[in-house]
Amino acid sequence: MKITTLLLSQIKRFVKKIIGTILHYGNTRKCPVCGKTFKNFRTAGLMPREDAECFWCGALERHRFVWLYFNKMTDLFDGSDKNMLHVAPEPFFEQELESRFGEEYITADLFDPRAKVKMDITDIQYPDASFDVIYCSHVLEHVPDDKKAMREFYRVLKPDGWAILLVPVLGEKTIENPEISDPSERKRLFGRIDHVRQYGTDYADRLRETKFNVKIFRPSDFLTDDERVLFGITDASEEIYYCTK
């Protein structure tokens, strides 16, 4: 029964992808993650955004932005061996990264059984300087002691390695109160019931307090206007926080 249900679910998702691709056939938008082209992307989000989600792989604006950054601005795909830690792996990234790095690519999550390693990022069970690359997106806002997690990322990053640690930044100053546990109050203050804070533009300073060197990249720093339109890169794409020791 479980196998049948899983198979039906997979078939439904595949049919949905095919229908979306056919109905939105065109070449004015391109997803850099899966390479598919469309006339537009799907509307998506808790507060619906037009031109947001790839019909084929599901990548949102921030995912497409990060993937372009990986390719254009880092050494991730230069052909050299790398030990990479990917926390809460996005499926559309996971397949490509797994094929490129194999056993040196470690996916980690505290709850997701798909991940290779069950990991609490405030207590990472790897030695110092274990990873060349760390990628963690939209996780720290769920972690009560985010600074401890940042220190752990710093510890396991190699001296010449780099990390991209992304969070939703929604204000000027980070708002948090560890005493708030009521789901409705968390949603009101932090945007979602499973968030324990709302990050502000001082997020980079929190990373720097952990001794990280932080550079902030925006779409206009390395993408042309035409590229931003083609790949659907908007203000919702967020900023990239590139961290080194």
- Domains identified in the chain, total number: 1
pLDDT at 6 (0 to 100): 54
The answer to the question of residue 223 being in a domain is no
pLDDT tops 70 at residue 7: no
Nearest of 156, 157, 126, 120 to residue 139 by alpha carbon: 120
Nearest of 46, 52, 84 to residue 170 by alpha carbon: 46
The answer to the question of residue 94 being in a domain is yes
The answer to the question of residue 96 being in a domain is yes
Helix and strand numbers (H, E) in the chain are 7, 14
Look up the pTM and report it.
0.90
Which CATH number is 195's domain given? Answer: 3.40.50.150
Quick check: 68 and 61 in contact, CB under 8 A? no
For the chain, helix, strand, coil in percent to 5 are 35, 25, 40
The answer to the question of residue 20 being in a domain is no
- Structure tokens, 128: 């110092």
Q: Per residue in 114-161, pLDDT tens? A: 999 999 999 999 999 999 999 999 999 999 999 999 999 999 999 999
Q: Which domain holds residue 113?
A: 74-211
Quick check: 115 and 93 in contact, CB under 8 A? no
Residue pointed to by tokens 């490509």: 96
Nearest of 85, 245, 215 to residue 154 by alpha carbon: 245
Instruction: Say which amino acid occupies 118.
Output: K
The answer to the question of residue 2 being in a domain is no
The answer to the question of residue 137 being in a domain is yes
